Structure 1
Amino acid sequence: MTTRPLGAPRPASLRTRPAHPAHDSRCPHCHAHPGQPCTTRTGHRLPAPHPARASAHTQAVACCPTCQVEPGQPCHDHGRPRTTVHARRYQEAEETR
């Protein structure tokens, strides 16, 4: 076991975490700008983006294997529009990273 002095700074790799790719777009829920984290009404930063932001990002970058729409097009269920994207589209977006 190694010892380190009390109050020693943590390594940079432990202080930062990679940003979620949805942070590249504006949040439709809290209106956070690209590159900024989502916040609550009281101004507290959230550790993950709002579901609406993640859905909007996924819709912008991935094709949907379920309903066969291209990036930028909303998902649908037998012609009826959905408010979110299909789960398989999230998986597709993860693979495009």
Structure 2
Amino acid sequence: MTIRPAAPMPVELRHYVRAGQHPARSVPCPHCGAAAHKPCRVQSNGRTLPQPHPRRISDWARDTACCPHCQVEPTTPCHDEGRPRTTVHTRRYQEAEATAA
């Protein structure tokens, strides 16, 4: 019997396999340190969470969508009249969800 190495999964197929996951899992989590495409976890006991941390979702929305509220491009943080925000505007979350759908 010959053992053959596994072929890499095509990108098109990988998208459908991950379709049940939250799209924010495509970026690393700044809260718990989970790598991209890995679930968030509780740092004290290592239990995995069913949904990503809010900061991870915020970073994903910042990286993928323009903000209709403050008119900034992707990867640029939202601001309130020049003061930077730690999270993104609600409308940017909605824009990122629409982009991911």
With the length of structure 2 as denominator, give the TM-score of the two structures. 0.78
List, as ranges, runs of 4+ consecutive aligned residues in structure 1 with deviation greater than 6 Å.
none
Match of 1:76 in 2: 79
State the one-letter code of the partner of 1:94. E
| Alpha-carbon distance between aligned partners in 2 of 1:37 and 1:19, rounded to the nearest angstrom | 9
Map 1:2-81 → 2, pairs under 5 A:
18-41=20-43, 42-81=45-84
Q: Which runs of 5+ in 1 are unaligned?
A: 1-15
Aligned residues: 82
**Cα pair distance change 1:96/1:17, threshold 3 Å:** closer
What amino acid maps onto 1:56 in structure 2? D
Q: Distance in 2 between matches of 1:17 and 1:48?
A: 14
CA distance in 2, matches of 1:90, 1:59: 8
What runs of 5+ residues in structure 2 fail to find an aligned partner?
1-17
Larger radius of gyration: 1
Q: TM-score, structure 1 length as denominator?
A: 0.82
CA distance in 2, matches of 1:17, 1:79: 37
- Going from structure 1 to structure 2, the CA distance change for 1:17 and 1:64 (only over 3 Å counts) comes to closer
Letter in 2 for 1:19: Q
Q: Give me the whole-angstrom Cα distance separating, in 2, the residues matched to 1:21 and 1:71.
A: 16
Identity of aligned residues (%): 57
Distance 1:26 1:87 in 2: 21
CA distance in 2, matches of 1:78, 1:47: 35
